Amino acid sequence: METFIVKDGEENNRIDRYLSEKSDNHSRVAIQRLIEEEKILVNGKKTKSSYKIQKDDKITIEKEEPKISKLEAQNIPIEIIYEDSDIIVVNKPKGMVVHPANGNLSGTLVNSLMAICKDSLSGIGGEIRPGIVHRLDKDTSGILIVAKNDKSHINLSNQIKNHETEKTYIAVVRGIVKEQEATINMPIGRSTKDRKKMAVSKNGKEAITHFKVIRKISKSQLYFT
């Protein structure tokens, strides 16, 4: 269950818009459907999508059960960086989806992990996300820490929630970056123009990024294969 308390300055927004910006797991259309199904409550009572939220309102979203009935373990090679009885750390390649979703039920990291770990994956993520504590986009390669039991899952989730973990990315940026290093501190939420994307939003979650330029290259140094 997700719970949100409306803060000062957030009031008088439509509840469907507010929640779609606050929640990482639901689009505005999904929020409206959950409101109709009475799975979203305000101060313990059912509501409407047009409701204008008020300061100190307590909003709860009931957790939806996974709709995918069965996943198959697949022998998909994956680089294992570290493994013990609590966690497994893997290097996810570019082009691989982390967990199954409707229309994409195979070839994911979860399918691979099920073959490697058998029944040793945390069940907290639900049937379609066993062991998954954090994610990377399909086209982003990098290290993922996967929980092999519920205790480690909770521990890792709390570390991420409390900003006790540090994530480092290497990216190619188009354009000219004037600063050699700097900090970006702007809240991120669902884009109001494209619900599949994230954007800077005054009602978004805190997002702090420290960046440092490693190397600058000219157009003449770029090449394509």
If one compares 88 and 204, the residue with the highest pLDDT of the two is: 88
Do residues 133 and 149 touch, judged by C-beta distance below 8 A? no
Structure tokens at 13: 């927004």
Asked if pLDDT for residue 225 goes beyond 50, the answer is: no
Closest CA to 105 of 78, 134, 127, 137: 127
Which CATH superfamily does the domain covering 2-61 fall into? RNA-binding S4 domain (3.10.290.10)
* Same fold across 2-61 and 79-161: no
Cα 137 to chain centroid distance, Å, stands at 9
If one compares 29 and 173, the residue with the highest pLDDT of the two is: 173
Rounding to the nearest 10 degrees, give the CA dihedral for residues 143, 105, 199, 142: 10
Across the chain, the runs of DSSP E, i.e. the strands, are 2-5, 40-42, 45-46, 58-61, 79-83, 87-92, 142-147, 181-185, 188-190, 198-200, 208-212
Is the pTM of the predicted complex or chain greater than 0.95? no
Amino acid at 181: E
If one compares 26 and 171, the residue with the highest pLDDT of the two is: 171
pLDDT of 38-85, one tens digit each?
999 999 999 999 999 999 999 999 876 655 557 889 999 999 999 999
Indicate the domain borders of the chain.
2-61, 79-161, 181-221
pLDDT of residue 222: 62
Average pLDDT over residues 119-140: 86
pLDDT of residue 42: 95
Average pLDDT over residues 196-213: 87
pLDDT mean across residues, the chain = 87
Active-site annotation holder among 8, 86, 119, 137: 137
The C-alpha atoms of residue 80 and residue 90 are separated, in whole angstroms, by 5
79-161 topology per CATH: Pseudouridine synthase (3.30.2350)
Do residues 147 and 138 touch, judged by C-beta distance below 8 A? no
Rounding to the nearest 10 degrees, give the CA dihedral for residues 84, 168, 91, 177: 180
Catalytic (active site) residue 139: no
Q: Pick the range with the lowest mean pLDDT from 60-69, 106-115, 160-169, 174-183.
A: 60-69
